[in-house]
Structure 1
């Protein structure tokens, strides 16, 4: 009886019995380390540990140890499985090396996934063909020739359809736009909401427009979202040649700078082209708000131009600001401030009625008002700065006023915004001073209103902090 250690398979069996556990332990530690760091290489290492190494060990034991090579079918089956696993391992390793850690903007990120899938499928088919030729002795040359002829025939028959698909895929590879970008194409304009291998879906605001990739690849279009930064909406307006250009330009910048959809990193620009024509550039945050920004700008400009007696579109007439309406408004205001008719007649010429559109800022913060503004119609919303925003704390309605610090010459501490279209009686600061001299009690009433509003603002801030669970040091004390 031959000693067992003299058998041909014994050294291989001992080597596998010792080496296989060591290799598996090492791979387990490597896999655990990669997994904890979130490294994408953990996936091929797991495949290597769980499948490739055990099947390779079995294959070595069956072939080298028993010296069978591929003479038995079951040895060929194990060799086929090992070859397929090696193909998967190589593909997984290449995927990690080329695509897993690719940076934004690189060709790996721009490459459409369908290209990757097709390349992966082609490599698997070629690998399997080589594997079957090596292990089973199959003749794959004729199969490749047949596939080549068939591909040529199919390509000629479907050249138009395939050409459209390929051009679309090349467009995806170039990636001149991405999801969320705004495109201006010959067939429509809107925001890109979906991109696939066949078509681009564009939200036009009136539905989803499906644009084939081949159409975009063969046409000229504009990506309104590139380069990064503000999107500039241009508005053309017309005044009369009698309006001083510097006054008009100042008014246009003032109105444009208060638009809520402006990009905070940029400023509006105004250019004068002569003959009363002006162009205003509005740097908005997105092309999606272009129409809203232009509409709101033109609406607010209508009110502002009439307040400044400038002739927008050649019309400077303000049917509201008439001597009769001003005197009627003063008759309403006089009893509220204990002012007699004689004094009202004196200041009527210096007062005027203003119109403000919904959303316009009637009073800013940190400025000394040049007049007292009394609400005749509509309402003003008072807000105070809070946590990089504004906090509402009061509403000014008919008979109430803003600009109270025009008397004390103090800077304003809150904003006043028209919550809807309002009419306001503007009383100049000099007239307010003269009214206080005639009626000293008026100064006390204005002071009480100032204190009341400051208290309301402080209470609103305290309530907001309490609701959010934030307590200041002063509140805690």
Structure 2
């Protein structure tokens, strides 16, 4: 009589009964450790613990412990299910090890999703062929032969369309641009908002331009966002031939330096291009600022050139007519306590000019050389907090003035920016000194204004803390 311990099935049964719980405990601890680290392999270990290990143990019990034939339907069913789970494990493992942990900018991260889909389809096809061939004994060779011939015929029929798709996919693999980059193509200029296997979608500001990837792959285009931090625009302006080039270059550079879109730690520059033309290079933070910066620069240059008596586009400034100057002096007469004699004398000493909206009229720390009286428009006084934030102190209107420290020759503590177009009268320091020498009350008024402005700054800074 044969003893139980002499039977081969006994050792298989004991091995499965002891090995399965031990492996389950080990895999449970491994899964918990991976989960604490946030590893992408956690799901793979869970798949092995929950499905592959139990199915493998069941298959061993069927074929070894109970000695059921491998040709039996239950064994084939269990083997098929195990094969499917192993196929899922292979796909998940490749995705987790090769692509989920891919470094930023590596070739693994740049592979288009359609390539991954095709690779998954091939792995699934091969896996299913192995399962049906070895488990169920199916003849899959004829099927692969038929698919191969059909693919060749279909490829020859659609070679132009397939060629365009492949060109687009190669463009996606190279990734000369990413979502959010600004590009300049032969047919559109704007920001890339979507890239798929067929086309690139570009937001031009006036609509969405859809360009096939095959067109981009065969054309030359510029990525304005690369390298980062290097984007600049060039603005061409033209002045009269008689204007001194150094004065014009200095004016254009100063105006460009005040643009709010200017890139930090970068300075604009201007060169004379000949024939009265000047090229100003303006470094910007992003291509998104191109239009706004160009429009603001052009507008500010128009006003600044007239204040500097330079002839932009060959045009002289005819704004300060005697009638406008006379009317403006009447507006500021109560502020300066002017009588009729003062009024007539000051007409030849004032200068009437304009500032554009958002343009700086006064900078913090500047020692003013003249007093500036507001004739029309509004001016915003600002101070800078300890954290660099710009804080509004107050808004000046018609009749108010700037440069109250002109006589004391002290730097101002506030900046001043035009809220809208501002017309001002400017009076040089010498003329102001002569005027206050005859009017002590005016000097007291200016002193009181200096104290009030300082109090306003302290209150604004305190309220912002």
TM-score range, shorter chain: over 0.9
- Tell me the equivalent position of 1:164: 164
State the SS of the aligned residue for 1:211. Answer: strand
Q: Quick one: distance in 2 between partners of 1:20 and 1:443? A: 99
**Residue equivalent to 1:30:** 30
CA distance in 1, matches of 2:16, 2:451: 90
Q: Deviations over 1:160-218 (max 9, x none)?
A: 22222121111111111111112222222211111111111111111111111111112
Displacement, 1:149?
A: 0.8
C-alpha separation in 2, matches of 1:218 and 1:363: 52
Deviations 1:35-61 (A, max 9, x none): 111111112111111111111111112
Unaligned runs of at least 5 residues, structure 1:
466-477
Moved more, 429-438 or 36-45: 429-438
Q: Which residue of 1 aligns with 2:130?
A: 130
What residue number does 1:41 align with? 41
C-alpha displacement at 1:400, in angstroms? 0.2
TM-score (norm. length: structure 1): 0.93
Q: Does 1:371 align with 2:388?
A: no
Query: 2:435 aligns to what?
Result: 435
Q: Given that residues 339 and 435 in structure 1 are in contact (C-alpha distance below 8 angstroms), is that contact kept between their aligned partners in structure 2? A: no
Which deviates the most, 182-191 or 322-331? Answer: 322-331
Structure 2: how far apart are the matches of 1:103 and 1:340?
Answer: 78
Instruction: Assess if the C-alpha contact under 8 Å between 1:323 and 1:349 holds in 2.
Output: no
In 2, distance between residues paired with 1:344 and 1:275?
44
> Structure 1 residues 380-389 or 60-69, which shifts more?
60-69
**Other structure's SS at 1:155 match:** helix
Q: How many residues align?
A: 464
Question: Where does residue 352 of structure 1 map in the other structure?
Answer: 351
Structure 2: runs of 5 or more not aligned: none
SS state of the match for residue 348, structure 2? helix
Deviations 1:257-294 (A, max 9, x none): 11111212321111112232110111122222212211
Aligned match of 2:312 = 312
Q: State the shift of 1:314 in Å.
A: 0.8
Which residue does the alignment assign to 2:139?
A: 139
Bigger mean CA offset, 200-209 vs 62-71: 62-71
Task: Give 1:336 shift.
Answer: 2.0
Q: How far apart, in 2, do the equivalents of 1:333 and 1:147 lie? A: 92
Mapped partners of 1:219, 1:273: distance in 2? 31
Moved more, 227-236 or 65-74: 65-74
Q: Distance in 2 between matches of 1:13 and 1:433?
A: 111
Q: Which sits farther off after the overlay, 414-423 or 95-104?
A: 95-104
Structure-2 separation of matches of 1:192 and 1:3 = 77
Cα deviation code 1:302-356 (max 9, x no counterpart): 100010111111112x222234433443333233222334344444333201100
Q: In structure 1, what is the equivalent of residue 324 of structure 2?
A: 325
Distance, in Å, in 1 between the alignment partners of 2:115 and 2:175 is: 14
The CA RMSD measured in Å over matched residues stands at: 1.7
Residue 64 of structure 1 and its aligned partner are, at CA, apart by 2.4
Hey, what does 1:382 align to over in structure 2?
381
Query: What does residue 341 of structure 2 align with?
Result: 342
For 2:298 and 2:96, locate their aligned partners in 1 and report how far apart those are by CA, in whole Å: 55
Q: Secondary structure at the match of 1:349?
A: coil
